[in-house]
Structure 1
Amino acid sequence: MTTQHPNPGGALHGITVLDLGGEIANYCGRMFAQLGANVILVEPPGGSSYRAAPPLAQSTGESLRFAYDNCDKRSIEVNLGTPEGRETFTRLAKSADLLLDDRTQHDLEAQGFGYDELHTQFPNLTVTAITPFGLAGPYSNYVATDATCMAFGGMLWLGGYDDGAPVQAAGHQSFRAGSLFGAVASMAALVSENGGAGEVIDVSVQECVSLGLENAIQFYDLEGHNRRRHGGKQKQAGFGVFPCADGYVFLIAGGIGGNRFWGNFTEWMQDAGVPNAALLEEQRWWERSFVESDEGKDLFWEIFTQYSERHTKAELLEAAIKWNVPLSPVKTLAEVHESLQLLAREFFTEMRIGEALVDAPGAPYRLLGTPWQSGGHAPQVGQDSDVILSELGADATSVATAQGRGNYA
């Protein structure tokens, strides 16, 4: 069985990508594959360790994360510890435009080469390293989990409740950020007018996480204030998560940047006949000291929840739109899957797990002329080795010899 590319007319058709990565960089390769690039997943004998990452499908034992991140790639097994494997890798690198990896410099050098050496040996190849801490600095050779990267980047400190330990966000968000920034930087290098010369792109996942801290660094730099996590509590009166009849909503009636909505919100509450809504007209709500105080937050909570707890998320959203007040339902995962907006845009695509088809998130962008497209399955270990080696010019004897060793190596 070989992988047939689902999108031969994609925007990146004609670009060849070698994906030597794992759980950090594989999503970057997925984005290239589903825009039409020929992405070759270069795996060690027996396959990538990422294939065992939980959660696993009950029916097949496949890693759902690996299956999603590696849709529409081709797989070849290469043992970089043997002369034959290194020769195969050399042929692959000479034919490729881009190489993706997420191993540290130390781990890569243990294979006999580093990122700079790759660039020297293959000057037309762009090499993108997406590693936990980048290729330089005292932590550059440290490995890390998603939680480690979130912690070192500062995001973990801001997640959770103020009276408890930090809480990690779901979904390996730091690795996703690294892959996204890596894809953007890689595309910039590929389209740059640089005489055909490749580049070495150094992406630090820690830095990608720190870029998402909003104004937390500025608060500390300018005011000496170390921002803390708030969980479901209000940051300021009228700014936070509130309960309703069927769940929760996020409201910005006031607080940071929200005072321009305060008049609309006050009219809404008074029109709805909410008890004590007239108190919202008092001047003290415009004083920072009051809206940041427990007294202000508690009073706002008392007024608004009398109304919110009697209405559903859908009813509150409809009313907020009418009154021009920023409010969002806090969607459950089931509600996201059933979202009319996402369904109208055909966001979800089918992914094959064994014999079953399951819904999975689709493209994070749309190209109208050369659309994103997915065939919906990841390759088996080394399933495309014969075809890829033949494309590289390996003769039948070489292929058979490699097969006889049990790996391409």
Structure 2
Amino acid sequence: MNSTLDSLLNKARGTTPQPGALQGVQVIDMSGLAGQYCGKQFSDLGADVILIEPIRGSSVRREGPFLDDKVHIEYSLPFAYFNAGKRSVCLDLDHPEGKQIFRELVKRADLLIESEKPGTMAARGLDYESLASIAPRLVMTSITPFGQDGPYAHYESEDIVALALGGLLYLGGYPDSPPIAAHGNLAYLAAAQFASVASMMALLSVDAASGDRPGKHIDVSIQECVVMGLETAIQFYDLEGIVRKRESGQQRMAGTGVFQCADGQIYLMAGGIASTRFWESTVQWLVDEGVPAAAQLLDEKWASHDYLVTDEAKTIFAELFLPFARTRTKAWLYQAGQARRIPICPISTPKDILENRQLAHRGFFTTIQHSPSQQILTMPGAPYKLTATPWRSPSPPPRLGEHTDAVIAELGYDKAARAALLQAGVLN
């Protein structure tokens, strides 16, 4: 449903939708996979986000998985998720006319998000200093693997490289295997979230400024964002003398870790933080449920952290707990354990998430129409509630260059001029 039809329907109903929190904010998003989530967060809050794509389209359009396994630039699911609600303009930034059009767009923008290699924008004459001369209050956010300077600045990289050089990959996987990266471009997403926070703070600073206070250039290093994910490693060494390593598939101590149950898995933390209190509550639970020999877990040695980390303790606990857990569901174990204030939770599968009652109550998932296929896609909505400026489901992800003509017309280019630019390959 397009915005014009929405407007007509609202008028017919006598209602006017409340503005988005960032309505009136103009954003240019010319980033790739490392930055489009940043632009999405502004679009979700009501900003007008123009996605500047190369003539052949954003590289994200070639990222799988693809809807119906149709490998096509209009069927990329990552592109659909990151760019729903944005307007697509295809522009050749290496052509003089393309650069001029870009500058005209920048003059109207509050925020520019880019993820080109350091030096690329400067070679085009579109670096921050050049753009700030025509748009002095512009906030420009650059997201690159290692930042704009330093010995690694021009290294090639992708998500897994940033995970590795940021140290987080070292902790992923199993003790007896090479490191394993979790699915989903986590380094890129971390950088995009840091970028969105920094961009919003900069916009607020510029907006609140009086006089001729200039805009800002934000330099985001994906590597540095990943390093932030290691912030608990120091505490482990400081408090317990432990150098964190890969632990997947292993239990740190008896009663703490992943356990099988009747319909999947649960995570239990009977030992660890406040171990004595949680341990006694867990053991009493097993005793009350009639688990044979569970009372032995109340012996004095089980109050010792040094004993809980032994293989003997882990084996004894598992031999008692697993037969009990395997006859109960995740939901039952969660509710019964929580009633006793024991740290326990079900491990949700994607299917569990889609069917989760809490998420359904909150209306977390939303739907959008995928225009090329006319299918309805279900995707995560906003993880927040705004009362005065409620979040609304975004418009469908744009087709390649869907809004090029309209946006260029807004800049004052007449039909003949737009046709000539199209013919010259400046636009698509």
For 1:356 and 1:42, locate their aligned partners in 2 and report how far apart those are by CA, in whole Å.
Answer: 25
**CA pair 257-22 structure 1, distance change in 2 beyond 3 A:** farther
Within the candidate set 93, 109, 124, 2:122 is matched to 109
Give how far 1:222 is off: 7.6
Give how far 1:87 is off: 0.6
SS of the equivalent of 2:348 reads coil
What corresponds to 1:312 in structure 2?
329
Contact 1:160 1:231 (8 Å CA) reproduced = yes
For 2:400 and 2:54, locate their aligned partners in 1 and report how far apart those are by CA, in whole Å.
Answer: 9
The question of 1:298 aligning with 2:325 is answered: no
Please identify, of 64-73 and 260-269, the stretch whose mean Cα deviation from structure 2 is larger.
Answer: 260-269
Give how far 1:339 is off: 0.7
For 2:239 and 2:297, locate their aligned partners in 1 and report how far apart those are by CA, in whole Å.
Answer: 31
Unaligned runs of 5+ in 1: none
Within the candidate set 224, 235, 239, 2:252 is matched to 235
% same residue: 43
Contact 1:118 1:127 (8 Å CA) reproduced = no
Unaligned runs of 5+ in 2: 7-16
Query: CA offsets per residue over residues 109-158 of structure 1, 9 Å max, x none?
Result: 34344344444553210001122222222212223222112212222111
TM-score normalised to structure 1 length: 0.93
What corresponds to 1:215 in structure 2?
232
Give how far 1:58 is off: 2.1
What corresponds to 1:385 in structure 2?
404
The question of 1:83 aligning with 2:102 is answered: no
What corresponds to 1:199 in structure 2?
216
For 2:153 and 2:243, locate their aligned partners in 1 and report how far apart those are by CA, in whole Å.
Answer: 27
**CA pair 135-358 structure 1, distance change in 2 beyond 3 A:** same
Within the candidate set 283, 308, 312, 1:266 is matched to 283
The question of 1:184 aligning with 2:197 is answered: yes
What corresponds to 1:288 in structure 2?
305
The question of 1:370 aligning with 2:389 is answered: yes
What corresponds to 1:399 in structure 2?
418
For 1:238 and 1:371, locate their aligned partners in 2 and report how far apart those are by CA, in whole Å.
Answer: 43
For 2:63 and 2:4, locate their aligned partners in 1 and report how far apart those are by CA, in whole Å.
Answer: 25
What corresponds to 2:78 in structure 1?
65
Contact 1:3 1:72 (8 Å CA) reproduced = no
Contact 1:2 1:74 (8 Å CA) reproduced = no
TM-score normalised to structure 2 length: 0.89
SS of the equivalent of 2:333 reads helix
The question of 1:169 aligning with 2:182 is answered: yes
Give how far 1:288 is off: 2.2
Within the candidate set 25, 42, 53, 1:32 is matched to 42
Give how far 1:4 is off: 6.4
The question of 1:43 aligning with 2:60 is answered: no
Within the candidate set 154, 173, 176, 2:167 is matched to 154
Which amino acid in the other structure matches residue 314 of structure 2?
K
Query: CA offsets per residue over residues 48-71 of structure 1, 9 Å max, x none?
Result: 121111111227531110111000
For 2:311 and 2:157, locate their aligned partners in 1 and report how far apart those are by CA, in whole Å.
Answer: 39
SS of the equivalent of 1:201 reads strand
Within the candidate set 124, 133, 156, 2:146 is matched to 133
For 1:250 and 1:311, locate their aligned partners in 2 and report how far apart those are by CA, in whole Å.
Answer: 14
SS of the equivalent of 1:81 reads coil
Contact 1:5 1:36 (8 Å CA) reproduced = no
SS of the equivalent of 2:93 reads coil
**CA pair 321-225 structure 1, distance change in 2 beyond 3 A:** closer
SS of the equivalent of 1:212 reads helix
Contact 1:350 1:376 (8 Å CA) reproduced = no
For 2:336 and 2:116, locate their aligned partners in 1 and report how far apart those are by CA, in whole Å.
Answer: 51
Aligned residue pair count: 409
SS of the equivalent of 1:103 reads coil
The root-mean-square deviation of aligned C-alpha atoms, in Å, is 2.3
For 2:111 and 2:209, locate their aligned partners in 1 and report how far apart those are by CA, in whole Å.
Answer: 15
Please identify, of 208-217 and 165-174, the stretch whose mean Cα deviation from structure 2 is larger.
Answer: 208-217
Superposed, which structure 2 residues align to 1:318-329 within 5 Å? 318-329=335-346
Give how far 1:350 is off: 1.0
SS of the equivalent of 1:280 reads helix
For 1:118 and 1:220, locate their aligned partners in 2 and report how far apart those are by CA, in whole Å.
Answer: 46
SS of the equivalent of 1:331 reads coil
Please identify, of 88-97 and 73-82, the stretch whose mean Cα deviation from structure 2 is larger.
Answer: 73-82
Give how far 1:375 is off: 2.9
